Structure 1
Amino acid sequence: MSHNTVAINQRMDRFDGHHRVWLFGYGSLIFKADFPYIERRPATIANWTRRFWQGSHDHRGTETAPGRVATLVAEAGAITAGMAYLITPEVFAHLDHREKNGYLRLAIDIHFDDGSSELGLVYIAAEDNAAFLGEASEIEIARQIARSHGPSGANRDYLIDLAQALRELGMEDGHVFEIERHLIDMRG
């Protein structure tokens, strides 16, 4: 699959006719909501885990030196914490462009702290996309993040901002926090 997934996402019609849709954010969408939303709530999804296995050729790296950003990988029993946004379908055009580097919309059950859940959507970069970098140790990921920079800034900032946002929300993520620890150790 190509890096650019805008056209594929525009064909997703699961939420056609809906006036409002919940969007689940697990990476930069937690700390950088650069789109209008009606409501914002902490939430979780089941059977997916956050991993820094997706390459970023357009935001936190370049075509020849990609950064690493978060995606979700299927894992039975896993719970991933993030932020849910109630949005209108007009926001999809902006999000499809923002998440164009391999991410596709997927319908998913989003669970809220009060015990309720809603069918919503999430952007996931699957293994078959051209920008997928795959599994690596947290130290290897930290090394790549430490040297990567793109049009949206340093890859390091993305990781640090995500770790900080997760802590502020009281959310745990061993993978993210371990990469952060290695980044801090590298800086000395």
Structure 2
Amino acid sequence: MDEFWVFGYGSLMWNPGFPNHKRVNARLSGYHRSLCVYSHVHRGTAEMPGLVLGLDRGGFCEGVAFAAKSDDEEAVMDYLRARELVTRVYRELVLPVRLENGSTVPAVAYVVDHSHTQYAGKVAPEHAAELVRNGHGQSGANRDYVLNTVDHLRQLQIGDAALESLARLLRNEQPRPKFGDGP
């Protein structure tokens, strides 16, 4: 079957918004998932930005690869570009991702542009929680975006300590004790 692949690491994992016939866990090397983008449209505004995920340099990112039919490529890419490139904070790249069966496929991925004014870099956890709590944009509350992503990562059994920590702050939870911790 003629197909092309798209890599999702944030809301694309739980809300791809485009027709696909295959969805598998995948790993992208050379980039990691990071709350490093000020959102001025989808989860915040220019006056009160939210904070959303980007693929930033270094490490690796576990996410989901979607296969779409080549016949749908033009419509899918138009949709993705309208969604992901609205302010041009991401660069659209085709990168090799390793699927859960061990094979590698080229996949469209959206990588943060460090030179863009919306690139936030590394944000302190308390400040990130404040931005997320206050962010609301065209696609809804920033808090919902982060918590939906964390919940989906848990379902996929993908660990992300930074997002888990932020989710605890947003839910006002205490960290779970580790085995052996105690009085």
Fold-level similarity (TM above 0.5): yes
Instruction: Quote the Cα distance in structure 2 between the aligned partners of 1:62 and 1:183.
Output: 20
Instruction: Quote the Cα distance in structure 1 between the aligned partners of 2:64 and 2:26.
Output: 5
* Paired position in structure 1 for 2:136: 149
- The count of aligned residue pairs is 166
* Paired position in structure 2 for 1:60: 43
* Paired position in structure 1 for 2:30: 47
Provide the secondary structure at the position in 2 that maps to 1:93: helix
* Paired position in structure 2 for 1:9: none
Which segment drifts farther, 47-56 or 124-133? 124-133
Identity %, equivalent residues: 31
Instruction: Quote the Cα distance in structure 2 between the aligned partners of 1:85 and 1:94.
Output: 14
1:139-167 C-alpha deviation (Å, 9 max, x unpaired):
21111101111111110000000000000
- In structure 1, the gaps of 5 or more residues are 1-18
State TM-score, norm by structure 1: 0.84
> Rg: which structure is higher?
2
Instruction: Quote the Cα distance in structure 2 between the aligned partners of 1:129 and 1:79.
Output: 22
Q: What does 1:55-94 correspond to in 2, within 5 Å? A: 55-75=38-58, 78-87=59-68, 88=70, 89-90=73-74, 91-94=76-79
Instruction: Quote the Cα distance in structure 1 between the aligned partners of 2:95 and 2:138.
Output: 30
Following superposition, the deviation at residue 20 of structure 1 comes to: 2.5
1:47-78 C-alpha deviation (Å, 9 max, x unpaired):
21111010111100012111100001111xx2
Provide the secondary structure at the position in 2 that maps to 1:167: helix
State TM-score, norm by structure 2: 0.86
Following superposition, the deviation at residue 173 of structure 1 comes to: 0.6
The amino acid that maps onto 1:34 is G
Match of 2:159 among 153, 169, 172: 172
Which segment drifts farther, 121-130 or 170-179? 121-130
Instruction: Quote the Cα distance in structure 2 between the aligned partners of 1:127 and 1:38.
Output: 33
Match of 1:28 among 3, 7, 11: 11
Instruction: Quote the Cα distance in structure 2 between the aligned partners of 1:110 and 1:20.
Output: 15
- In structure 2, the gaps of 5 or more residues are 174-183
